[in-house]
Amino acid sequence: MSKTWFITGASTGFGRSLTEKLLARGDRVAATSRNARALDGLIERYGDRLWVAALDVRDPQAVRKTLARAFAELGRIDTIVSNAGYGVLGAAEETTDTQLRDIVETNLIGSIVLIRSALPYLREQGGGRVLQVSSEGGQIAYPGFSLYHATKWGIEGFVETLAKELVTFGIRFTLVEPGPARTDFGRSLVYPEPIAAYDATPAHQTRDALLSGDWVIAGDPERMTDAMIAVADQPDPPLRLVLGGTSYHAVRDALSARLDELEAQRETAFSTDYPEEELV
């Protein structure tokens, strides 16, 4: 049985791969992108199974209008894929207010507005799926990616809360956490003006490794999008989907270190409660 999907950021990267694969297997796709013309070739091939709209997720009104039109014209939409996003690579001190505002409006606020706007439709139709493309960077942190991590940690908290709020309505959520993959992500990075004082520090070492090409990227975006489609088809999907060996090891190490740190503070944590005899 074919399904209908709504995907943001569908002209490149994971969004493009998902769109092509879903159409090839017979599904319908509502694909949005700031550069909608990049999807013209797919329209010629798949006709009315591909619904396309130009959309900048930084515009909340446009997000709501586009979703409303998609549901009105397509009827039921089974899966929402919140995929639009990008990164800023530089020390936090190097970043500008404009860069901060733009990435938060795209990666965090844009994703929140999209999901919030979809909820009434998903509730009314009796359920649905939401795939939020996050990152290993929603659970770990690389030096130089502070603004990016702020948006990904933020959207993870939002989606994890919604997973608890909406389970009664048959709406299921999955946070997709790919590690580095051979997509257009690196080419779309924004680089702030560097400050010389950060040369040879961790923030610039991350930047230099990426720019030099020495950072070997093992993640296959095609295999990753296969896994995204498979998890959306599952009757009981996980809240988080970690993709890539790099992501698995990085997230596992980060969680282990945080748990060790937590356990070391057990005595301090309990010492700050009221004693039992004072709990009246």
Residue type at position 231 = V
Indicate if 148 belongs to the active site: yes
Residues 5 and 52 sit within 8 Å (Cβ to Cβ): no
- Strands 79-82 and 4-7 turn out to be parallel
* Phi and psi at residue 135, to the nearest 5°: 180, 160
- Find the catalytic residue in 46, 86, 142, 148: 148
- Find the catalytic residue in 134, 135, 146, 247: 134
E strands along the chain, which residues? 4-7, 28-33, 50-54, 79-82, 128-133, 171-178, 240-243
Residues 130 and 172 sit within 8 Å (Cβ to Cβ): yes
Indicate if 21 belongs to the active site: no
Indicate if 3 belongs to the active site: no
- Find the catalytic residue in 3, 86, 152, 247: 152
Q: Can you tell me the distance from the alpha carbon of 165 to that of 117, in angstroms, rounded to the nearest whole number?
A: 15
Residues designated as active site: 134, 148, 152
